[in-house]
Amino acid sequence: MPRLDRDLRTYLASFLSDHRRELLPRLLQHRTRFLTVVVEDIYQSHNASACVRSCDCFGVQDIHIIENQTTYEVNDKIALGSAQWLTTRHYENTAACLQSLKERGYSIVMTSPHEPTCELETYPLTKPAALVFGNERFGASDTVREMADDVLRIPMYGFTESFNISVAVAVCLHHLVWKMRDAGVAWQLPNDEREALLDEWVQAASEGRIQPLRKRFEELVAAGTPPRLDDWPNWEAVSPDPVVERGNRRSKSGSI
């Protein structure tokens, strides 16, 4: 999405519910790119959508979709709208995706029960990590294994060899997000990325109203009567802790 003029963004935000105006900047305090998720050739839409939903729930902003053979599709009943809050990047080539991540400073961490080099509980999370999950039948490709810096095993104690991919994503993120926050690393978004995401989120939250609201804003400015705007968000006053009841998705009135 294009960047917004700050006054226009504040004007658009003035039409959001109080719940949304509190929620958007607060959740940005929890967003991270220190961890990112890569899924390769996921062919069941409900699995791919569950991975997206887990990324949003754990505050992992970016998900990288490799589509060598299968096309990613969102299952709205599973994703529950989570995709609109994430940055989704698509690739047609595994090597191109992983090389791009390496150049951005990520360690490539393949998840597999076979020939692991590290375990989930003891993985040394000292630099940004891209967790790579293969497809439901064959796992990650040989290209991933060749380019991986580590092969991470999730401990399992039953007869079944592996978790469903969406469960594997959730298990890894649950552990590593907690470890990341406890490790003293710089995991939060820098100011410029936080501001850019807030632009995108305000536009997503404005949905079908954005064009008429933008037009009205431009008319007011052209007429020399710009709207009176508050200082939103005041980042110094934003608390990272939840202050709303009934979770993040809905306010007391039930509106999103």
Q: What is the number of domains present in the chain?
A: 2
Secondary structure (3-state) at 202: helix
pLDDT at 251: 44
Mean pLDDT of successive 10-residue segments in the chain (256 residues)?
86 93 94 97 90 96 94 87 94 96 98 94 95 90 96 93 92 97 94 96 91 94 91 88 56 41
pLDDT at 248: 57
Question: Domain check: are 66 and 139 in the same one?
Answer: yes
pLDDT at 249: 55
- Adjacent-strand bridge partners of 139: 135
pLDDT at 230: 87
pLDDT at 247: 52
pLDDT at 161: 85
Domain span at 100: 35-182
Question: Domain check: are 205 and 107 in the same one?
Answer: no
Question: Domain check: are 83 and 171 in the same one?
Answer: yes
Q: From the CB of residue 18, how many other CB atoms can be counted at a distance below 10 Å?
A: 9
Exposed, middle or buried, 101 (CB in 10 Å: 0-12/13-18/19+)?
buried
